[in-house]
Chains A and B, each alone.
Chain A
């Protein structure tokens, strides 16, 4: 099968017209679900995620049956429970995923343990659980990254203390071993088509720092390319963090305007200037 991405070298434009280091268009909104403790909606290109946070509330073992959990603060803090629902209409070919789908569980575990590293759970105590429900409404590449970003934003909306945003981004490599093109560009923020054709990894970092919280790579990739891909993904994470921060600040501005919070009033250590 001829690769569409093989034409990349001709114009240095990707299938959707982006340059190698461009993120897709992002849209996000906080507080989309009034009855939830925290909620967010995030679009990264055509990947659309809705996230609902409930809690922290007392641990209920029955309701976390298929959710993946991870304790915060070394078991001394609240537990983060993540469950993902993929809507049947989210993909091009309609496929039902069961609640015990292994791929979903793996993503749930990655997100839960990643968020557990960012959440300051010791203020809640070990008997409480923060439930994070992620609904995938439309899927077009970088799913894990978008899920992490949406969960991060919803946790901010819920007012859960975190050290920084947990942000994630994907990066792929266009070079093939046969072509021996050492200088080939890594690609940032892949869509479905690129994900199917290229080796790629998902990298999650804590805020704008280069502290890697999670990295998932499920395809064969040359070791020499890995560093370039990681650097590109970390750059992308910075872009995502700036975007999420902008969304949170806009929301804060709005809250000040609407009189929900007084101007200059400091909510925790968050600065709403």
Chain B
């Protein structure tokens, strides 16, 4: 009996010693009566239900805490004003990009997982995430740039300035202000900071959900350009703070491709697409697909597809991922509203 006992490993030891065969054994059980599941008990296309709490930060203009399984992120959005540089064209093709009005930043080095120790320079993952979030923010045209423009105050509603708050000192003084009445004098810049509290896989989807929820929660005070004082002023009253008009509700859905053999060529062997992967699964998969969809308004619109590594996913499989993303969209929408 002693030898039999020494050969039996507990499942946690098995998982630590050889994670790949462990996940494979769960997905492909030797006993046909047990249903194949992932190590976390989910079906391959089953996602974790997100929980969202908004307006939890007092100092930010908008904030959200999103919990997706054991992945928890906090997102804070803060608006600051910048003055339009004089001499630059007033009509730009893409103001948000040219003036850099949306500034996302992802902080992973918080001790959120054993492999992300604090006090180290941003890892490749953190930088990649920031860049992907940045490009999705701009390419999805989520934020209506017209809400970020600050115009000179209209003559009719000129007030004494007693209840106004000094926001920004003007550096430039020019005659220009008098001649062009409705010119954009300043912009709101949205600093979008995402902090990972705990990390258990799928950072992109969770961070994006947090940003979406925080931007929906964001209310900017009514700002205007005061021509006399040559600075941007804000109305103090809370009533005049207006939410951002977000275009649509894009939701990201990531799947990781788990192959039967650790080094597998296309067209050979079994594979599974594990949607919303956790930390163990992410470590075992080389290939990931992310689809961003928006179903607001009835029909499904694809806002982005990105695929990294591997050669398994083809057009057929991509369609299946899009279908999973559609159900993910319903889930996130239910959590966000």
Contacts and interface: CB of A to CB of B under 8 A. Distances in A.
Interface of A: 32-36, 46, 50, 52, 54, 62-67, 83, 85, 87-92, 94, 99, 131, 133, 135, 137-139
Contacts of B70: 34-35
Given A89-B78, A89-B193, A35 B119 contact: no
Contact of A94 (B80, B121, B195, B200): B80
A139 B60 CA distance: 12
Contacts of A99: 119, 121
Interface of B: 57-60, 63, 70, 74, 76-78, 80, 105, 107, 109-114, 117-121, 191, 193, 195, 197-200, 279
30 contacts: A33-B197, A34-B198, A35-B112, A35-B114, A35-B198, A35-B200, A52-B110, A52-B111, A52-B112, A54-B117, A63-B117, A63-B119, A65-B119, A65-B120, A85-B110, A85-B195, A88-B191, A89-B60, A89-B77, A89-B78, A90-B59, A92-B59, A99-B119, A131-B117, A133-B110, A133-B111, A133-B117, A135-B197, A138-B59, A139-B59
B191 A35 contact: no
Nearest to A53: B111
A186 to B, nearest CB: 27
A94 B114 CA distance: 29
A94 B61 CA distance: 11
Contacts of A88: 76, 78, 105, 191, 193
A33 B195 CA distance: 14
A95 B217 CA distance: 21
A53 to B, nearest CB: 8
Task: List the 8 shortest-distance A-B pairs measured between CB atoms, nearest first.
Answer: A89-B76, A133-B111, A83-B119, A52-B111, A133-B118, A66-B119, A83-B118, A88-B193
Contacts, number: 91
B118 A91 contact: no
B155 to A, nearest CB: 32
Given A35-B198, A88-B76, A66 B120 contact: yes
Contacts of B121: 99
Contacts of A54: 111, 114, 117
B114 A50 contact: no
A154 to B, nearest CB: 10
Nearest to B80: A94
B194 to A, nearest CB: 10
Contact of A87 (B195, B198, B200): B195
B107 A85 contact: yes
B259 to A, nearest CB: 26
A164 to B, nearest CB: 25
B79 to A, nearest CB: 9
B218 to A, nearest CB: 12
A66 B74 CA distance: 23
Contacts of B107: 85, 87
A35 B117 CA distance: 13
Contacts of B110: 52, 85, 133, 135
A67 B119 contact: yes
Nearest to B60: A89
Contacts of B63: 89
A87 B111 contact: no
Contact of A131 (B60, B74, B111): B111
A64 B114 CA distance: 14
B17 to A, nearest CB: 19
Contacts of B60: 89
Given A33-B198, A54-B111, A87-B193, A67 B76 contact: no
Contacts of A90: 59
Given A88-B193, A89-B63, A137 B111 contact: no
A32 B120 CA distance: 23
B120 A63 contact: yes
A46 B59 CA distance: 10
A135 B110 CA distance: 7
Contacts of A83: 118-119
Contacts of A67: 118-119
B57 A89 contact: yes
B39 to A, nearest CB: 15
A33 B112 contact: yes
A46 B58 CA distance: 8
A32 B110 CA distance: 14
A85 B193 contact: no
